[in-house]
Amino acid sequence: MLSYRSNPHCGGQGVYLKNISRALKDMGHRVEIVSGPPDPQIEPDIPVHRLPSLDLYDPKNPFRIPTFSELKDPINLMEWAGVSTMGFPEPFTFGLRAYSFIKKRRHRYDIVHDNQSLSYGVYGISRCLPTVATIHHPITIDRTVSLRAAHSGLSRLKQLRWYSFVGMQKRVARRLSRLITVSECSRNDICRDFHTSPKHFHVIANGIDTRHFYPMPGIAAEPGRLMVTNSADMPLKGLYYLLHAVADVAQRRKIKLTVIGAPKKNGAVVRLIDQLNIGRYIEFTGRIDHQNLVRHYARTAIAIVPSVYEGFGLPAGEAMACGVPVISTTGGALPEVVGDCGVLVPPANSPALARAIIDLLDNPGQAQQLGKAGLKRVRAQFTWSNAARKLTTAYREAIDDHH
């Protein structure tokens, strides 16, 4: 399995890599991971080959200046040039490094599974080994939302430059015989934006690890406590709309919003909280460990997923696995995850979010029923073992295609 940037605590790609590799290993398959930074924190019985890179997005030393000896490597030089010109070259450069790594060891592997780098290097690998790729959702969606949120011509140019790798991903996706995605919505959007055929896709829903996300009966939910797991400034995640809704609801009900994570210093989220004068209703947890995250869920009356778009919607599934009632937008695949076990509102619609919050706060019986229904739905439909079984079918088809 190839994965260029897979933090297991931040973002769907890291969660996917960690859990699907575990499920495949538990089925008896031999799994090895080829990874870029940061450390994907895979359990020790699964080998991880960490490819060296400049790691220019390391939070401890972001955008550092490489040494001259580092820049003697042509791939490092391309990576540095890409970052220096406001691009995001990691999918491209990771693919080149992965191609070199796999080519020398191609007789070790039956199949290569790429986790959304969709690099030219992955296409090169597919010429000598059966190869599939998971596309969680088309990055064209992120690009469209970011461009819409840009407030100046320069900002739009920066966004276009950052997303310049999308053309590569489209071209590579069209050249692979088997593609995986995690929802019907994602498949349809990828086919539309990447000009791929639905016949190349297997739709395999993500799982929710119920060993790590579960109800804590000893902790009571606090009335009026809301929770969201995204603290980022990314327009796609919809936190701006939730903050506007909180400003509205706080005038009529006693609430507190817990935001998991920390805001960007002097970023758009902090400025909006100041502008709306709602700081007293908001608490940021900063970085917390997993056990504390589950405790926060247990204390929560309502979990909110305000995303403008999700290719799957892990935050909704994780809240449901903890028995917490969910208010979610209908952005992307979220309705496929939530079903009729939560309250659904249109994306990018603060008044609708506010109305849904007030209605559910005023109907604790309904909230309790939704929490129980969501837990039952996750346990029945979203398991990593089911995903791994379906994935092996796609692997066999890709191997047959190659031969």
Q: What is the pLDDT of residue 149?
A: 86
- 215 in a domain, yes or no? no
> Kind of pairing, strands 225-228 and 201-203?
unpaired
CATH number at residue 47: 3.40.50.2000
- 213 in a domain, yes or no? no
Give per-10-residue mean pLDDT for the chain (403 aa): 81 89 97 94 95 90 93 96 95 97 96 97 97 96 90 92 96 96 97 96 95 93 95 86 98 96 89 96 93 96 97 96 98 97 98 98 97 97 95 96 87
Q: What is the pLDDT of residue 403?
A: 81
CA dihedral sign, ordered 339, 340, 346, 347:
negative
Range of the domain at 377: 225-381
Q: What is the pLDDT of residue 11?
A: 67
What pTM does this model have?
0.91
Distance between CA atoms of 35 and 32, rounded to whole angstroms? 10
Q: What is the pLDDT of residue 9?
A: 62
**Residue for token pair 């991880």:** 48
Residue 63 near residue 83 (C-beta atoms within 8 A)? yes
- 12 in a domain, yes or no? yes
Q: What is the pLDDT of residue 151?
A: 85
**Residue for token pair 């695949």:** 333
Residue 100 near residue 151 (C-beta atoms within 8 A)? no
67 and 198 in a single domain? The answer is: yes
81 and 125 in a single domain? The answer is: yes
Q: How far apart are the first and last CA of the chain?
A: 20
260 and 394 in a single domain? The answer is: no
- 71 in a domain, yes or no? yes
Q: What is the pLDDT of residue 308?
A: 95
139 and 10 in a single domain? The answer is: yes
Number of independent structural domains in the chain? 2
Q: How far is CA 75 from CA 35, 70, 79, 81, 88, in A?
A: 16, 10, 6, 10, 14
